[in-house]
Amino acid sequence: MAAPLAGWTFRAARPEDAAACAPLILASGVREFGFFLGVPVEAMVAFLASAFASRHGRFSWRRHRVAVAPDGSVAGVLAAHDGRMIAFDDPHVAWLLLRRFGLRHTVASLLRGLVLEGELPAPKRSQTHVAHCAIDERWRGTGVFTALFEDTRRAGALGDGEGREVVLDVLLSNSRAAALYRRLGFVEQPRAQPVSPKLPPELESIRMRLGR
């Protein structure tokens, strides 16, 4: 267990955290979001902020927990997606895309999303998927993410105490993050299927599962 961090607090996210969390969520998967959304960084941040403020969907504040720095700023975030609660995630994100970017762009994004989902599959009903893991760059390597993860676990948001399988995905190229997840108890899983030829090589990922 990580040592307590003086002055830091960890809590469930709130709608008013949208402006702080949107760039962090983007940082958690800037290549993936760039491929999926296909818009400039500013537009991606605006989309994620709007989606975060919603009560519904995979980007909603209701799925996230945050780390709050001693100065009161939100400096870390992660999401926990319960596989039993995701049935309407895809229709909701399609609606958000359509409202913000229009029909033509939405169709193109959804087609790219299908390719991405082949590499980053949605959790099964028996799984909780940890995603959107990011810490402000000023605080990386200081133990903040470990503390946030452990707080999320203690809060019951992962459901591993109920026997649920906890999984996450990390880019093959992101060895630093993979090493952190291993220290937290995650282990690599065998690939379920070959990499799609339509997937950009830099998006090849590893699925990891939290050990029992």
What average pLDDT score do residues 196-205 get?
A: 98
Range 9-159 classified under CATH 3.40.630.30: yes
Statement: residue 83 has pLDDT above 90: yes
Please give the pLDDT value at position 161: 80
Judge whether 83 and 127 are in contact, CB under 8 Å: yes
Please give the pLDDT value at position 88: 96
Please give the pLDDT value at position 67: 98
Compute how many other C-beta atoms are within 10 angstroms of the C-beta atom of residue 108. Answer: 15
- Model confidence band, residue 162 (pLDDT cutoffs 50, 70, 90): confident
What average pLDDT score do residues 200-211 get?
A: 97
- What is the tens place of the pLDDT at every residue in 58-76? 999 999 999 999 999 999 9
- What is the tens place of the pLDDT at every residue in 100-130? 999 999 999 999 999 999 999 999 999 999 9
Q: What percent of the chain has pLDDT over 70?
A: 98
Statement: residue 7 has pLDDT above 60: yes
Judge whether 66 and 76 are in contact, CB under 8 Å: yes
Compute how many other C-beta atoms are within 10 angstroms of the C-beta atom of residue 138. Answer: 10
Please give the pLDDT value at position 4: 59
What ranges do the domains of the chain cover? 9-159
Task: State how far the Cα of 29 lies from the Cα of 133, in Å rounded to an integer.
Answer: 9
pTM: 0.95
- What is the tens place of the pLDDT at every residue in 23-64? 999 999 999 999 999 999 999 999 999 999 999 999 999 999
What average pLDDT score do residues 6-18 get?
A: 97
